[in-house]
Amino acid sequence: MDVAVRTVNLRKTYLSRGSRRVAVTGLSMAVPLGGVHGFLGPNGSGKTTTIRMLLGLVRADSGTAEVFGQAVPGRLPHVIDRVGAIVESPKFFPAFTARQNLVLLAGAIGSPRHRVDEVLEATHLGDRGRDRYAGFSLGMKQRLAIAATLLKDPDLLIFDEPTNGLDPAGIREVRDTMRSLGAQGKTVLVSSHILAEVEQVADTVSIIGHGTLLAEGTVSDILGGSGVAQVRVRVASPDRAQQVLRDEGFTPTRDGEHLVVAAEDPSSVTRALAGHGLFVSELVPVRPDLESAFLALTADQGLGGEADQVAGGHVGGGAA
């Protein structure tokens, strides 16, 4: 597999209130070339620290990282022109229009002027270029930030929680922009703790918890490994149906008037119930989602959200 980014055994600790706090530990991950790669983990799991190491903004304690085959930070100058990133909210001049802001930036980084119109189009801001930044919605501001990263036409885009604070419409705008960049062959590495957001746009994902890799692969690989498919059924007598299904070897759970049953083949459930004169009035497959897969993975590892981690202490299991 051709990779845009690879880390091997990356580790970073911070000194905090007299003790060492482990942010990233033994992180080995690979981001395939082209497409959108979701970098997922709960708050405090080490995503930002990893991204900052990739961009040479913080130095790893140990381990290696490479971008387009070049070791970073040492050889970062050789690839930095191919990388665009939003790690913190970029600063724009509120009184300037979107276009004026981009023209200024393009001049500063030596990008040709025509790129300004191209990146406004690419982020669907073409008709808002003459509006002042101050009047932009959060979603538009975020798309302008993406437009700014596109000025030098990078091959790798790194976005740290780009949908933070956006409303559903803003989230969709940013998501659509990432999707079209991935479809153009760019590599988009996007971090998020809101898995459902990334699930809809990512081709592949890395899931981390407490600074270590828990799972990596295509979204469907990860969902496939997250357990048996379930169906949600409605019957007139859910209590009886629950007993019947238990007697038949299923493990149904009650959800209001519905039962949720793990079954590879939904017809095995309807057959079992019909055999006892119970007829299903509704049957809906419960699609496993990344959120459940993620929760299952972190639960397996005894990992939840942010927790204190002290160097030398237990910091979770190995890579999947």
Ligand X SMILES: Nc1ncnc2c1ncn2[C@@H]1O[C@H](COP(=O)(O)OP(=O)(O)OP(=O)(O)O)[C@@H](O)[C@H]1O
Report the site for ligand X in 72-91 (rule: CB under 6 A).
Answer: none
Contact with ligand X (CB under 6 A) among 49, 97, 187, 298: 49
Q: Applying CB under 6 A, which part among 39-47, 65-73, 196-204, 224-232 lies near ligand X?
A: 39-47
Examine residue 73 and say whether the peptide bond preceding it is cis (omega within 30 degrees of 0): yes
Using CB under 6 A, which of the segments 47-55, 132-140, 177-185, 271-279 binds ligand X?
47-55
**Contact flags string 150-189 toward ligand X, x per CB under 6 A:** ----------------------------------------
Quote the least distance from Cβ 259 to ligand X, whole Å: 36
Scanning the structure block, which residue is given the tokens 């706090």?
A: 21
Residue 26 binds to ligand X (criterion: CB under 6 A): no
Taking CB under 6 A as the binding criterion, the range among 36-44, 64-72, 178-186, 284-292 that sits at the site for ligand X is 36-44
Residue 41 in contact with ligand X, rule: CB under 6 A: yes
Question: Is residue 21 involved in binding ligand X (CB under 6 A)?
Answer: yes
CB of 316 to ligand X, least distance (A): 13
Stretch that binds ligand X, among 14-22, 74-82, 108-116, 276-284 (CB under 6 A): 14-22
Should residue 43 be labelled a site residue for ligand X when binding is judged by CB under 6 A?
yes
Amino acid identity of residue 271, one-letter, is R
- Answer yes or no: are the C-beta atoms of 29 and 7 closer than 8 Å: yes
Q: Pick the binder of ligand X from 4, 5, 10, 23 (CB under 6 A).
A: 23
Instruction: Candidates 16, 62, 89, 251: give the one binding ligand X (CB under 6 A).
Output: 16
Residue 302 to residue 314: CA distance in whole angstroms: 11
Terminal-to-terminal C-alpha distance of the chain: 18
Among 48, 97, 163, 206, binds ligand X (CB under 6 A): 48
* Total count of residues recorded for the chain: 320
**Could you tell me how many residues of this chain bind ligand X (CB under 6 A)?**
14
The set of long-range contacts for 204-207, using a CB threshold of 8 Å and a minimum separation of 24, is 204/31, 204/32, 204/35, 204/36, 204/37, 204/38, 205/37, 205/38, 205/39, 205/40, 205/290, 206/29, 206/30, 206/31, 206/37, 206/38, 206/39, 206/40, 207/40, 207/41, 207/293, 207/294, 207/297
Whose Cβ is closer to ligand X: residue 204's or residue 206's?
Answer: 206
Amino acid letter at 177? T
Q: Given the rule CB under 6 A, which residues bind ligand X?
A: 14, 16, 21, 23, 41, 43-49, 193, 306
